[in-house]
Amino acid sequence: MADIVLDHVYKRYPDGTLGADDVNIEIADGEFIILVGPSGCGKSTTLNMIAGLEDISDGELRIGGQRMNERAPKDRDIAMVFQSYALYPHMTVRENMAFPLKLAKVDKAEIDRKVTDAAKILDLTQHLDRKPANMSGGQRQRVAMGRAIVRSPKAFLMDEPLSNLDAKLRVQMRTMVSKLQQRLETTTVYVTHDQTEAMTLGDRIVVMRSGVVQQIGSPQHLYDHPANLFVAGFIGSPAMNFLPARLENDSLRTALGDLALSDQVRQTLSSSGAERDVIVGIRPEHFEDAALIEEGIRHQGSTFSAQVDVLESMGSDKFAYFTIEEQATSDELAELAADAGTADVPGGDAGQLVTRLSAASGASEGQSVDVWVDTSKLQVFDPKNGKNLTASEAAPATV
């Protein structure tokens, strides 16, 4: 058990590209931290640098207060779970799990005891003498976990350990990983590109984009106070809606009509300058069928009416999709769309507004409906650099 500190860490490739650009992360002892971002964002590079599988070009990595840059992976006392599991196919499950202990020259009785314990935790006891080839994906995954935990290392590193499992199993294993981490209280660094995994598993999330840390914070903090457009668009499903808007006096002129700013938003914005073009972000759940909003609360937001394109009833909620003419554009949003693959879908997310309405809503496809927006929850972004203009509280958490 130990804390892990990345202190101004850089990864420079021979061709000059930066895999990690001034990464600063302090991971507390026993913390479960998630590195998340689209592919190629540097999250795996960062993990490999912690593991020692890739060299650190500049900066310092400390585990338990000691500098690790020059140490070989085997001398760092950390265990890793790979996306492909990387089980040794010529060894049985027992031998696979005993391998790190055997290398550490632990005596036989102790190895047996530890492997049996780990197998019990992971429900692998009856499979101990099987070879990985004869096991299912979920079982192999558990063996990989077992190989990591037998050694009681200082930290666990997990490189997308669940992405090879099918959807249902992934949810089960997610809970298992979470329970396991709580039980062992070992510092864990977990890499994923799946924002749902990131939201549900981690104590804190590190969002990365092209080698640069965008924001570090608890899942809720990132959701409520994204530091920039990229984080806002990446965290949350369905994603936040982004609309181009013009800030005039006390209101935002958007395709949905003029949105009155709440006092709180106005205060933070007033210091940031006068009339200007901005991008406004609204989460789907901050919309509601206006008919269901009590008169007393209605003035806290704005109401617009539009025709429902598609209505998806989930039972607990209804997702209503509207078309909007104008579409917010920025590098960050383009990158997110490309990563999600929506850029390739004809009509994709382009000019679409997603709203989550109560199941009691009377909205129906093709009909016009009055929709209410909670304007106190608006996020306003600078279209030039993507910065969140409303997130003054988020500032200390940003690096």
Partner 1 sequence: MATAVESRPAAPAKGSSKGAGMSEGQKKTWWAVADLVVLLYALVPVLWILSLSFKTTDTITDGNFFPRSWTLDNYAQIFQIGLFTAALRNSIGIALISTVLAVVIGTMAAYAIARLDFPGKKVLVGVSLLIAMFPQISLVSPLFDIFRGIGIFDTWLGLILPYITFALPLAIYTLSAFFREIPWELEKAAKMDGATPLQAFRSVIVPLAAPGVFTTAILVFIFCWNDFLFAISLTSTSRSQTATVAIANFTGASQFAEPTGSIAAAAVLLTIPIIVFVLFFQRRIVAGLTSGAVKG
Which residues form the interface with partner 1 (CB under 8 A)? 51-53, 72-74, 78-80, 82, 84-90, 99-100, 103-104, 131-135, 137, 140, 147, 151, 157, 164
Q: How far apart are CA 139 and CA 146, in angstroms?
A: 10
Q: Is 106 in a helix, a strand, or coil?
A: coil
For helices 137-149 and 93-103, the axis angle rounded to 10 degrees is 20
**Which C-beta is closer to partner 1: that of 98 or that of 369?**
98
The minimum distance between CB 103 and partner 1, in angstroms, equals 4
The minimum distance between CB 242 and partner 1, in angstroms, equals 37
Residue type, 244: P
Query: Which pair of tokens denotes residue 375?
Result: 């304007």
Query: Which pair of tokens denotes residue 24?
Result: 């600063």
Q: Burial-class residue 78 by CB neighbours within 10 Å (0-12, 13-18, 19+).
A: buried
Exposure on the CB side of residue 56, measured as CA atoms within 13 A: 25
**Which C-beta is closer to partner 1: that of 53 or that of 260?**
53
Closest alpha carbon to 383 in 232, 279, 283: 279
The minimum distance between CB 297 and partner 1, in angstroms, equals 51
The minimum distance between CB 132 and partner 1, in angstroms, equals 4
Exposure on the CB side of residue 387, measured as CA atoms within 13 A: 10
The minimum distance between CB 156 and partner 1, in angstroms, equals 10
**Which C-beta is closer to partner 1: that of 87 or that of 333?**
87
The minimum distance between CB 40 and partner 1, in angstroms, equals 19
Cα→Cα distances 49→12, 86, 101, 154, Å = 12, 19, 23, 16
CB atoms within 10 A of CB 73: 14
Phi/psi-derived region of residue 63, left when phi > 0, alpha when psi is between -120 and 50, beta in every other case: beta
The minimum distance between CB 154 and partner 1, in angstroms, equals 12
Q: Facing residues of 4 across strands?
A: 27, 63
**Which C-beta is closer to partner 1: that of 151 or that of 356?**
151
**Which C-beta is closer to partner 1: that of 89 or that of 315?**
89
**Which C-beta is closer to partner 1: that of 137 or that of 351?**
137
The minimum distance between CB 149 and partner 1, in angstroms, equals 12
The answer to whether the CB of 370 falls within 8 A of the CB of 291 is yes
The answer to whether the CB of 234 falls within 8 A of the CB of 228 is no
Q: How far apart are CA 243 and CA 302, in angstroms?
A: 15
**Which C-beta is closer to partner 1: that of 165 or that of 239?**
165
**Which C-beta is closer to partner 1: that of 177 or that of 320?**
177
Q: Is 356 in a helix, a strand, or coil?
A: strand
